């Protein structure tokens, strides 16, 4: 049985999808973008956007009853591969040991023209 997960501490869905779904003790998030949930603002620069997106992801996982330590896989979509190093520096402050597996893909465009989007799979 699936359970829909949502929180006001992460950006609301901007389409016909859920922020996250839990199934059999696994949490699957949708892509999380760096929107400040309280204001709808988007921070400037890849470092600030990475921090916001990962904070939003952390908040969503907490709402699902898990946390960043339980993430087993992430997919990071970035607008500019030249930002890879900067995003990695921020990423490793949210995942400090036993890093999850990860894919990172450069894409032409992301929702709201943000610089990155991240999705995750976590265990409970």
Phi first, then psi, for residue 48 (nearest 5°) are -65, -40
- What is the rounded radius of gyration, in angstroms, for the C-alpha atoms of the chain? 13
- Report the CATH number that the domain containing residue 93 is assigned in CATH: 3.30.1330.40
Structurally, the chain folds into a number of domains equal to 1
The pLDDT tens digits for 16-33 are: 999 999 999 999 999 999
What is the pTM (predicted TM-score) of this model? 0.96
How far is the C-alpha of 57 from the C-alpha of 30, rounded, in Å?
Answer: 9
Residue 90's domain spans which residues? Answer: 2-123
The pLDDT tens digits for 74-96 are: 999 999 999 999 999 999 999 98
The pLDDT tens digits for 24-78 are: 999 999 999 999 999 999 999 999 999 999 999 999 999 999 999 999 999 999 9
CA 1 to chain centre: 24
């Amino acid at each position: 049985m699936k359970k829909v997960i949502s929180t006001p501490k992460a950006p609301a869905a901007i389409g016909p999808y859920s922020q996250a779904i839990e199934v059999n003790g696994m949490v699957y998030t949708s892509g999380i973008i760096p929107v400040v949930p309280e204001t709808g603002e988007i921070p400037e620069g890849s470092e600030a956007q990475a921090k916001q997106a990962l904070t939003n992801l952390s908040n969503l996982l907490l709402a699902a009853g898990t946390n960043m330590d339980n993430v087993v896989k992430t997919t990071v979509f970035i607008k500019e591969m030249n930002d890879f190093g900067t995003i990695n520096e921020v990423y490793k402050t949210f995942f400090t040991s036993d890093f999850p597996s990860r894919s990172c893909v450069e894409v032409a465009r992301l929702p709201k023209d943000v610089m990155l989007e991240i999705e995750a799979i976590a265990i409970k």
